[in-house]
Structure 1
Amino acid sequence: MTKVKVCGIRRVEEAQWACDAGADAVGFVFADSKRRIDVETAARISASLPPHIMKIGVFVNESKENLKEIYSTVNLDFVQLHGEESVSFCENIDLPLIKAIPIKEEADIIGMDQYPGELVLVDSGKGPFRGGNGTTFNWEYVEAIPLSHQLILAGGLNPENVREAILKVRPFMVDVSSGVETDGKKDRKKIESFVRKVKSV
């Protein structure tokens, strides 16, 4: 069954909504974003979560030292890297990682298999931020590629389109942020609807 990550969590109650709905992971954004969270708040939310919930930190071109410090302080399970981090950088940080690949065109999938780790995230390459822009990409680019990684699908997913996305791409996990928000804030009913749609596929 496809797993669900609710990203851009900023409040304890939002994390609780995700847990109660049956999500498998939550994401904290430490990069430049309207959903950015400070380390202390993320650590407090992380400590409130049951142990089976994956905690993933989102970073853009962060230093190895800061990655390790935040990973430890927040008790993260993965660091998710959305910048220009090289394969060698990823191999040398010695942390469980998810490399995010922005997809604008089919050629953008070339080289994805070079990154270490079991997971890779594909996101839309459109919009002002490195993720969380609410835009989709052409899922046909990734639905047929043989991968050594398990795929996390992100980019413009919402309760209306996630079933089609799962049937096309067959990802290990889907990642939602703006698709479960109303007026820029997490919406409990949308989170519940999204998770329900995913788990019904």
Structure 2
Amino acid sequence: MKVKICGITDIETGKKAVEYGADAVGFVFAESKRKVPAELAKEIISHLPKDVWKVGVFVNETKEAIERIAEVAGLTHLQLHGDESAAFAVSLSLPVIKAISFQDNKTLEVFHQFPCDYLLLDGPKGKYRGGNGSAFNWQEVNIDLLNQKHVILAGGLDPENVATAINIIKPYMVDVSSGVETEGRKDFRKIKQFIEKAKGII
């Protein structure tokens, strides 16, 4: 099972996440308490291995801004958390992860045809698009609608529930941010535990 640790804001956390086995790290470039400037993301990325995904999270950003930030920071994937159209996704130069808040299977069916490399299933919208740490009922998801997609599961995951979520959804990757934090900051112990649980190490 592949794991993405999102909301990275400093070099040490990025390095620790990879050391513990993270396959991807995420940088938020939208309104969030975890938002980072492109230059800081670039500095963090310069300390990470080449084969690790460096994902930029955007919400209703212009194509020009996304491409500029991606180039400055050295991103490898673009995660779209807003109301971006199919045409917009196709126009981007890097692989696209389209995030949707799971509400019901009817909504999921609409995105079944969305032109993206990966579909991220997130929890309910809160103050921000994504990163709210809210889970949804995984049992409600019609797995058949996901067969043609590489699914990334997010929303309310933590070291205690990630194994259960994986068994139900069987995603390509799991994505966590607030679930590995203590008092709003990344907790290295929780990151390590989450990755081990997700990968079946413990």
> For this structure pair, what is the TM-score category when the shorter chain's length is used for normalisation?
over 0.9
Look up the match of 1:149. 149
The aligned counterpart of 1:93 is 92
Structure 1 segment 1-201 matched on structure 2, within 5 A: 2-142=1-141, 144-147=143-146, 148-200=148-200
Root mean square deviation, CA, Å:
1.2
What CA distance in whole angstroms lies between the structure 1 residues aligned with 2:94 and 2:121? 20
Which whole-Å CA distance do the structure 1 matches of 2:125 and 2:116 have between them?
25
Q: Distance in 2 between matches of 1:83 and 1:61?
A: 5
Residue 103 of structure 1 and its aligned partner are, at CA, apart by 1.2
Distance 1:160 1:20, change over 3 A: same
TM-superposed deviation, 1:75:
1.0
Amino acid at match of 1:149: K
My pick for the range that moved more, 19-28 or 103-112, is 103-112
The C-alpha deviation readout for 1:81-131, integer Å capped at 9, x for no partner, is 000001111122233111101112332212112222321101012321111
Note if contact 1:124-1:131 (Cα within 8 Å) is conserved in structure 2. yes
TM-score scaled by length of structure 2:
0.95
**Contact residue 23 and residue 195 of structure 1 kept, 8 A:** yes
> Would you say the 8 A contact 2:56–2:79 is kept in 1?
yes
Could you state the TM-score of these two structures normalised by the residue count of structure 1?
0.95
Q: Is the 8 A contact 2:109 2:145 kept in 1?
A: no
